[in-house]
Amino acid sequence: MLLSVLMSPFLAFSQDDLTCYKAGLHNHSVGKHMETARLADPRLNDYDVGFYFLDIAADNQSTYVEGTVKITATIAADNINEFVLELADELTISEITINESSTTFSHSGNLIIIDLPSAATTGEILEVAVSYGGTPPDDGGFFSGISQGTASFDIPVTWTLSEPFNASDWFPVKQVLTDKADSANIYITVPSDLKAAASGILTNISEVDDTHLRFEWETRYPIAYYLLSMTIAPYEVIEQQVYLPGIPRPMPISNFIYADSRVIDQVTPTLDYTPELLVLFSQLFGAYPFSDEKYGHAMAPMGGGMEHQTVSTMQGFNLNLIAHELLHQWFGDNVTCKTWQDIWINEGFARYGEYIALENLLSQEEADAWMNNNYDQILSVPDGSVFVPEESAEDVGRIFDFRLTYNKGGALLHMLRLETGNDELFFDALRVFHTNFAEENASGEDFANFMQSYTQIPMTDFFEQWYYGEGYPIYDMTWDYNDGTLTVFLDQTTSAPDITPFFSTVLPVEIETASGKVEYRIKPDIPQDQFTFSIAEDVLNVKLDPRNIILKKTGTVTSVEPENNYGFVCYPNPASQSLHIKITSGLTYQVSLTDIQGRVLIVREMGPGSSSQISTSDVPAGMYLLRLQNSQGKWVRKIQITH
């Protein structure tokens, strides 16, 4: 799912919608974190859904819906006397049958409690049919289960969006992420001047009466409850096709576009990105997971996009939005997050798909500019984790927090690509992860443990800091080149020190000599760390993370230079966590650090050629005086300490 501003005169949405924009091994798993699976009623765990058959009628003038939904389920416990489904109280149930026999039920609190004619046992298969109708609740905003609105040029549209908790607004359902249906039929009866789009293959269009048609969609792939959908409008279907790697026949791409030449003329050129991206993503992440059916889009004035399985619902079209919803078919639809706390499995991957699309279809410069803009947004607030904490597990705004779930989630993968060491290994790992969890559910911890096992690179610290942790590192760097040896001093603080006091992240360092620039990788183990390099030529400059891959802020980056040949150097200035002093002469110095009033904080003696690191982490921020004295004189330097 992605909410985005698309610069088009007819693809407008309200300001209210904008607020929703949507490792060698350590021999242990990434640290356990509480995951809460939302469950409206514990009796929902008493069965497994096998098949949904939605046979419903609707139009594009309202959200009124009526029809029958059949659910085939396998009982997963013994002595079950009640069968529970979720359905909004605003919808009226006319009849419920169990295996084609009517039964009694109650409907309140958005739950249907269905009385079974006899106690069911493990392995028993039931067909539950619910006939119902009515106008669903108006939840308002982007996350309504079913909405009706008017697109530009006065085109009325009805569409559904069930993520995360709103499928029950429009059909009887079990809203449990880990219980994917094995398959589904979605039959939609609409006025004959309209078309209805849904997941899977359109197997038939039948005449119901003189004024209504039924669009009969069927999918035979496992599908999560929130990915069942319908969109209804006066559409024109623009067909494309694509030859995917390893598949000898073309796969159809069906685009349900408003039947208005002004819309069609504007969006048609951009649709050409879709087959290109299908090939690219199939190469990088493995075969498109629904190649026996289709991919496609259906337009709706929803303020963004939603990755309904095999048919993404779209406000409009640009490269980023097409890429985002398409990559969801791999991560989100085929591999689905295990709980809403792990929504990163869906949205972080899809967000990074936008970067990959820009990188491969446009240019590296475009991709980097896009990522830098994301970083600016993330860095605008000092805290927040990608993982949704337990107390926010049902907070839709937190689940789909754009800064954290989307931007920081995508940044995490960008940094993991560097941490992994090379692109071949990184994308190999993503392909195998997708294969291993295809048609199932995965958590962030599942992914972290898989990556550690597959790459044999320690991942525990990385995920503890970047996935479960909060904030970002702040670096000061000083470098010193002398007689063929380059020494890099790195001081790190963090934006959320009480939660994540340190990031042990791989950092690129670019070293420039007369012969050119060479990039090295360092990985700090402590907040104040140093690294040495043997460099034959004089070093002209050193840059920290020149391509801005790591999410961070950089304070001072300075080189060490002698102070007027007085025989010592001190750096950095300003200092945050530590101040380095190096004696370059053959004399002994008395060194002290005092405040402006002359109160002595630190005193020490330093001999010829020695180096010392003075911790300033416990010294209040402000201006101080560094005094050095030897047999030839006294020197005073103003030192600013910041935190």
Q: Is the pLDDT of residue 139 over 80?
A: no
The residue with greater pLDDT, 182 or 583, is 182
Sign of the CA dihedral 162, 165, 170, 176? positive
The alpha carbon of 277 is separated from its chain's Cα centroid by a whole number of angstroms, namely 19
Dihedral through CA 380, CA 384, CA 387, CA 390, nearest 10? -150
Q: Which residue has the tokens 């967000």?
A: 351
pLDDT of amino acid 400: 97
Q: Which residue has the tokens 């300003």?
A: 574
pLDDT of amino acid 563: 55
Q: Is the pLDDT of residue 21 over 60?
A: no
Query: How far apart, in whole angstroms, are the C-alpha atoms of residue 105 and residue 127?
Result: 15
The average pLDDT across 446-470 equals 97
Q: Is the pLDDT of residue 238 over 60?
A: yes
Cis peptide before 164 (omega within 30 of 0): yes
The average pLDDT across 398-423 equals 97
Q: Is the pLDDT of residue 429 over 90?
A: yes
pLDDT of amino acid 30: 53
pLDDT of amino acid 31: 53
Confidence category of residue 32, pLDDT binned at 50, 70, 90: low
Query: How far apart, in whole angstroms, are the C-alpha atoms of residue 334 and residue 330?
Result: 5
Query: How far apart, in whole angstroms, are the C-alpha atoms of residue 434 and residue 282?
Result: 11
Q: What is the pLDDT of residues 558-614, one digit of tens each?
A: 776 655 566 888 888 888 788 888 888 888 999 999 887 778 988 999 998 888 888
Q: What is the pLDDT of residues 329-368, one digit of tens each?
A: 999 999 999 999 999 999 999 999 999 999 999 999 999 9
Q: What is the pLDDT of residues 480-491, one digit of tens each?
A: 888 899 989 898
Are 87 and 41 in contact by the 8 Å Cβ rule? The answer is no
Q: CA-CA distances (angstroms) from residue 602 to 210, 582, 596, 597, 607? A: 93, 16, 14, 14, 16
Q: CA-CA distances (angstroms) from residue 25 to 188, 300, 426, 461, 483? A: 52, 48, 17, 11, 38
Dihedral through CA 289, CA 287, CA 267, CA 312, nearest 10? 20
Q: If residue 319 lies in a helix (H) or strand (E), which one and from where to where?
A: helix 319-327
pLDDT more than 70, % of the chain:
94
Q: What is the pLDDT of residues 143-180, one digit of tens each?
A: 889 999 999 999 999 999 999 999 999 999 999 999 99
Confidence category of residue 283, pLDDT binned at 50, 70, 90: very high
Query: How far apart, in whole angstroms, are the C-alpha atoms of residue 86 and residue 206?
Result: 30
The average pLDDT across 505-523 equals 96
pLDDT of amino acid 434: 98
Confidence category of residue 15, pLDDT binned at 50, 70, 90: very low
pLDDT more than 90, % of the chain:
78
Across the chain, what does the average pLDDT equal? 92
The lowest-confidence range among 88-97, 131-140, 287-296, 408-417 is 131-140
Q: Is the pLDDT of residue 27 over 50?
A: no
Are 213 and 207 in contact by the 8 Å Cβ rule? The answer is yes
* pTM of structure: 0.87
List of domains in the chain: 38-233 (2.60.40.1730), 243-334 (1.10.390.10), 344-466 (1.10.390.10), 472-560 (2.60.40.1840), 562-643 (2.60.40.3080)
Write the DSSP symbol of residue 397. H
